[in-house]
Amino acid sequence: MDNVGTARVKEAEAHSDMPMPVVLLTGFGAFPGAPSNPSAGIIRLLAGAPTARLARLGIRLERHVLPVVFAAAPQRLAILIESLRPSAVLHIGLAGRRRSLCVETRACNFVSQLHPDARRQTPVSRSITPGGVPARAARVPSQRLVHALRAAGARSQISIDAGSYVCNQTLYLTLGTETALAGFIHVPRPRGRRPPGMSKMPPPPTLAGMARAVEAALIVLATELRRNR
Ligand code: PCA
Protein backbone atom coordinates (compact mmCIF):
# COMPACT_ATOMS: atom_id res chain seq x y z
CA MET A 1 0.00 0.00 0.00
CA ASP A 2 1.28 3.54 -0.69
CA ASN A 3 1.68 6.36 1.83
CA VAL A 4 -1.69 8.08 1.32
CA GLY A 5 -3.56 4.77 1.60
CA THR A 6 -1.52 3.61 4.61
CA ALA A 7 -2.05 6.90 6.44
CA ARG A 8 -5.79 6.73 5.84
CA VAL A 9 -6.01 3.10 7.03
CA LYS A 10 -4.03 3.94 10.21
CA GLU A 11 -6.25 6.95 10.85
CA ALA A 12 -9.42 4.90 10.39
CA GLU A 13 -8.11 2.04 12.57
CA ALA A 14 -7.14 4.50 15.31
CA HIS A 15 -10.80 5.54 15.57
CA SER A 16 -12.01 2.00 16.00
CA ASP A 17 -11.01 -0.82 18.30
CA MET A 18 -11.18 -3.36 15.47
CA PRO A 19 -8.69 -3.79 12.62
CA MET A 20 -10.28 -2.97 9.28
CA PRO A 21 -11.41 -5.89 7.14
CA VAL A 22 -8.97 -6.52 4.32
CA VAL A 23 -10.03 -6.70 0.70
CA LEU A 24 -7.40 -8.38 -1.44
CA LEU A 25 -7.37 -7.19 -5.05
CA THR A 26 -5.11 -9.05 -7.45
CA GLY A 27 -4.15 -8.49 -11.06
CA PHE A 28 -1.85 -10.55 -13.27
CA GLY A 29 1.47 -10.01 -14.97
CA ALA A 30 2.41 -10.61 -18.60
CA PHE A 31 1.78 -13.89 -20.39
CA PRO A 32 2.23 -15.19 -23.96
CA GLY A 33 0.09 -12.95 -26.19
CA ALA A 34 -0.17 -10.21 -23.54
CA PRO A 35 3.22 -8.54 -23.05
CA SER A 36 1.56 -5.94 -20.85
CA ASN A 37 -1.43 -6.94 -18.80
CA PRO A 38 -3.99 -4.17 -18.18
CA SER A 39 -5.07 -5.85 -14.94
CA ALA A 40 -1.66 -4.98 -13.46
CA GLY A 41 -2.12 -1.40 -14.74
CA ILE A 42 -5.48 -1.20 -12.96
CA ILE A 43 -3.84 -2.41 -9.74
CA ARG A 44 -1.29 0.42 -10.04
CA LEU A 45 -3.98 3.04 -10.72
CA LEU A 46 -5.91 2.06 -7.58
CA ALA A 47 -3.08 3.25 -5.31
CA GLY A 48 -3.40 6.57 -3.48
CA ALA A 49 -6.77 8.31 -3.60
CA PRO A 50 -8.90 5.20 -4.39
CA THR A 51 -7.24 3.25 -1.55
CA ALA A 52 -7.89 6.19 0.77
CA ARG A 53 -11.56 6.42 -0.35
CA LEU A 54 -12.01 2.70 0.40
CA ALA A 55 -10.40 3.17 3.81
CA ARG A 56 -13.07 5.79 4.54
CA LEU A 57 -15.64 3.07 3.78
CA GLY A 58 -13.96 0.87 6.35
CA ILE A 59 -11.83 -1.50 4.28
CA ARG A 60 -8.09 -1.93 3.90
CA LEU A 61 -7.32 -2.53 0.25
CA GLU A 62 -4.34 -4.78 -0.46
CA ARG A 63 -3.22 -4.80 -4.09
CA HIS A 64 -0.98 -7.49 -5.57
CA VAL A 65 0.05 -8.75 -9.00
CA LEU A 66 0.20 -12.53 -9.46
CA PRO A 67 2.47 -14.27 -11.97
CA VAL A 68 0.72 -15.99 -14.87
CA VAL A 69 2.39 -19.26 -13.97
CA PHE A 70 0.38 -22.42 -13.28
CA ALA A 71 2.82 -23.61 -10.61
CA ALA A 72 3.65 -20.29 -8.93
CA ALA A 73 0.32 -18.41 -8.83
CA PRO A 74 -1.32 -20.85 -6.36
CA GLN A 75 1.68 -20.52 -4.01
CA ARG A 76 1.58 -16.72 -4.10
CA LEU A 77 -2.17 -16.76 -3.60
CA ALA A 78 -1.95 -19.14 -0.62
CA ILE A 79 0.69 -16.95 1.04
CA LEU A 80 -1.39 -13.81 0.51
CA ILE A 81 -4.58 -15.36 1.87
CA GLU A 82 -2.74 -16.92 4.81
CA SER A 83 -0.94 -13.72 5.75
CA LEU A 84 -3.69 -11.15 5.06
CA ARG A 85 -6.76 -13.22 6.03
CA PRO A 86 -8.91 -11.11 3.69
CA SER A 87 -12.66 -10.80 4.17
CA ALA A 88 -13.02 -10.44 0.41
CA VAL A 89 -10.87 -11.33 -2.59
CA LEU A 90 -11.42 -9.80 -5.99
CA HIS A 91 -9.24 -11.00 -8.84
CA ILE A 92 -8.99 -9.16 -12.11
CA GLY A 93 -7.42 -10.52 -15.29
CA LEU A 94 -7.30 -9.89 -19.02
CA ALA A 95 -9.66 -11.63 -21.44
CA GLY A 96 -8.23 -10.21 -24.66
CA ARG A 97 -11.08 -11.20 -26.95
CA ARG A 98 -13.91 -9.91 -24.80
CA ARG A 99 -15.48 -6.49 -25.32
CA SER A 100 -16.76 -5.76 -21.85
CA LEU A 101 -15.91 -6.26 -18.20
CA CYS A 102 -17.14 -9.75 -17.35
CA VAL A 103 -18.14 -10.72 -13.83
CA GLU A 104 -17.33 -14.42 -13.61
CA THR A 105 -19.91 -16.48 -11.77
CA ARG A 106 -18.03 -19.77 -11.49
CA ALA A 107 -14.73 -21.55 -11.88
CA CYS A 108 -14.27 -25.10 -13.17
CA ASN A 109 -11.84 -27.75 -11.96
CA PHE A 110 -10.15 -27.78 -15.33
CA VAL A 111 -7.10 -26.28 -17.00
CA SER A 112 -6.09 -26.66 -20.62
CA GLN A 113 -2.68 -28.14 -21.36
CA LEU A 114 -2.56 -26.35 -24.72
CA HIS A 115 -1.55 -22.87 -23.62
CA PRO A 116 1.83 -22.36 -21.98
CA ASP A 117 2.16 -19.88 -19.13
CA ALA A 118 4.65 -17.01 -18.71
CA ARG A 119 7.36 -19.57 -17.93
CA ARG A 120 6.42 -21.53 -21.07
CA GLN A 121 5.14 -24.37 -18.91
CA THR A 122 1.83 -26.19 -19.23
CA PRO A 123 0.03 -27.84 -16.32
CA VAL A 124 0.91 -31.44 -15.49
CA SER A 125 -2.74 -32.36 -14.92
CA ARG A 126 -5.98 -31.15 -16.48
CA SER A 127 -7.57 -31.08 -13.02
CA ILE A 128 -6.72 -28.13 -10.80
CA THR A 129 -7.51 -30.22 -7.73
CA PRO A 130 -7.65 -33.92 -8.63
CA GLY A 131 -10.87 -35.28 -7.10
CA GLY A 132 -12.12 -31.76 -6.33
CA VAL A 133 -15.67 -30.60 -7.08
CA PRO A 134 -16.20 -29.96 -10.82
CA ALA A 135 -17.15 -26.31 -10.36
CA ARG A 136 -17.40 -23.67 -7.65
CA ALA A 137 -19.76 -20.68 -7.65
CA ALA A 138 -18.32 -17.20 -7.17
CA ARG A 139 -19.28 -15.66 -3.83
CA VAL A 140 -20.02 -12.09 -4.89
CA PRO A 141 -23.27 -10.27 -5.66
CA SER A 142 -22.65 -10.66 -9.40
CA GLN A 143 -25.61 -8.69 -10.69
CA ARG A 144 -24.89 -5.79 -8.35
CA LEU A 145 -21.29 -5.78 -9.54
CA VAL A 146 -22.45 -5.61 -13.17
CA HIS A 147 -24.72 -2.67 -12.32
CA ALA A 148 -21.90 -0.88 -10.46
CA LEU A 149 -19.45 -1.38 -13.34
CA ARG A 150 -22.03 -0.04 -15.79
CA ALA A 151 -22.88 2.91 -13.56
CA ALA A 152 -19.15 3.72 -13.56
CA GLY A 153 -19.32 3.90 -17.37
CA ALA A 154 -17.95 0.50 -18.39
CA ARG A 155 -19.79 -2.04 -20.50
CA SER A 156 -20.26 -5.10 -18.34
CA GLN A 157 -21.96 -8.47 -18.27
CA ILE A 158 -22.20 -11.74 -16.37
CA SER A 159 -20.01 -14.60 -17.61
CA ILE A 160 -20.26 -18.30 -16.82
CA ASP A 161 -16.91 -19.13 -18.41
CA ALA A 162 -13.72 -18.02 -16.66
CA GLY A 163 -11.68 -19.93 -19.26
CA SER A 164 -9.28 -22.81 -18.74
CA TYR A 165 -6.07 -20.94 -18.03
CA VAL A 166 -4.45 -19.32 -14.97
CA CYS A 167 -7.42 -17.02 -14.19
CA ASN A 168 -9.89 -19.89 -13.89
CA GLN A 169 -7.32 -21.81 -11.83
CA THR A 170 -6.89 -18.85 -9.48
CA LEU A 171 -10.63 -18.33 -8.99
CA TYR A 172 -11.20 -22.05 -8.40
CA LEU A 173 -8.51 -22.12 -5.70
CA THR A 174 -9.72 -18.95 -3.98
CA LEU A 175 -13.26 -20.31 -3.92
CA GLY A 176 -11.85 -23.36 -2.12
CA THR A 177 -10.77 -21.14 0.79
CA GLU A 178 -13.03 -19.82 3.51
CA THR A 179 -12.89 -16.24 2.24
CA ALA A 180 -16.41 -14.86 2.69
CA LEU A 181 -16.56 -12.92 -0.57
CA ALA A 182 -14.57 -14.09 -3.57
CA GLY A 183 -14.92 -13.25 -7.23
CA PHE A 184 -13.29 -12.45 -10.53
CA ILE A 185 -13.68 -9.74 -13.15
CA HIS A 186 -12.20 -10.28 -16.59
CA VAL A 187 -11.33 -7.03 -18.36
CA PRO A 188 -10.93 -6.40 -22.10
CA ARG A 189 -7.86 -4.87 -23.69
CA PRO A 190 -8.13 -1.13 -23.03
CA ARG A 191 -8.94 1.35 -25.77
CA GLY A 192 -6.13 1.76 -28.26
CA ARG A 193 -4.64 -1.68 -27.75
CA ARG A 194 -7.02 -3.89 -29.69
CA PRO A 195 -5.68 -6.53 -32.05
CA PRO A 196 -6.40 -5.90 -35.75
CA GLY A 197 -9.75 -7.23 -36.96
CA MET A 198 -11.66 -6.06 -33.90
CA SER A 199 -11.96 -2.44 -35.03
CA LYS A 200 -15.69 -2.66 -35.93
CA MET A 201 -16.55 -3.36 -32.33
CA PRO A 202 -17.53 -0.49 -30.05
CA PRO A 203 -14.45 0.87 -28.31
CA PRO A 204 -13.65 -0.63 -24.91
CA PRO A 205 -13.01 1.61 -21.89
CA THR A 206 -9.63 3.22 -21.29
CA LEU A 207 -7.39 1.82 -18.57
CA ALA A 208 -8.37 4.71 -16.28
CA GLY A 209 -12.06 4.03 -17.03
CA MET A 210 -11.63 0.39 -16.10
CA ALA A 211 -9.83 1.34 -12.89
CA ARG A 212 -12.79 3.59 -11.94
CA ALA A 213 -15.16 0.69 -12.66
CA VAL A 214 -13.11 -1.73 -10.52
CA GLU A 215 -13.14 0.82 -7.70
CA ALA A 216 -16.94 0.88 -7.99
CA ALA A 217 -16.94 -2.94 -7.73
CA LEU A 218 -14.80 -2.71 -4.58
CA ILE A 219 -17.30 -0.27 -3.08
CA VAL A 220 -20.03 -2.89 -3.64
CA LEU A 221 -17.90 -5.44 -1.76
CA ALA A 222 -17.20 -2.96 1.04
CA THR A 223 -20.94 -2.34 1.40
CA GLU A 224 -21.61 -6.06 1.43
CA LEU A 225 -19.00 -6.62 4.16
CA ARG A 226 -20.48 -3.86 6.24
CA ARG A 227 -23.95 -5.37 5.87
CA ASN A 228 -22.71 -8.82 6.97
CA ARG A 229 -20.84 -7.59 10.03
N1 PCA B 1 -5.67 -13.52 -18.16
C2 PCA B 1 -5.41 -14.93 -18.28
C3 PCA B 1 -4.36 -15.23 -17.24
C4 PCA B 1 -3.90 -13.95 -16.72
C5 PCA B 1 -4.79 -12.93 -17.30
O6 PCA B 1 -4.75 -11.73 -17.06
C7 PCA B 1 -6.68 -15.79 -18.14
O8 PCA B 1 -7.78 -15.32 -18.51
O9 PCA B 1 -6.59 -16.91 -17.66
Dump pLDDT digits (tens) for 26-79.
999 999 999 999 999 999 999 999 999 999 999 999 999 999 999 999 999 999
pLDDT at 204: 84
pLDDT at 4: 60
Tally of structural domains, the chain: 1
Give the CATH number for residue 186.
3.40.630.20
**DSSP three-state, residue 45:** helix
Ligand 1 neighbours (beta carbon < 6 A): 28, 31, 37, 39, 68, 93-95, 163, 165-167
Closest atom of ligand 1 to CA, residue 169: 9
**70, 76, 115, 165, best to mutate for ligand 1 pocket (most atoms within 8 Å of CB):** 165
Distance 152 CA to ligand 1 centre (A): 23
Phi, psi for residue 146 in degrees, rounded to 5 = -60, -45
pLDDT at 192: 72
Where would I find the H helices in the chain?
A: 3-14, 38-45, 49-56, 72-84, 142-151, 166-175, 207-228
Q: Helix/strand/coil (H, E, C) string of 79-91? A: HHHHHHCCCEEEE
pTM: 0.91
Distance CA 150, CA 15 (A): 34
Distance CA 30, CA 65 (A): 10
Torsion of CA 166, 171, 177, 178, to 10 degrees: 160
Closest by CA position to 104, among listed 37, 160, 28? 160
- Tell me which residue range forms the domain holding 57: 3-14+21-227
pLDDT at 1: 53
Collect the ranges in the chain with pLDDT lower than 70: 1-17, 193-201
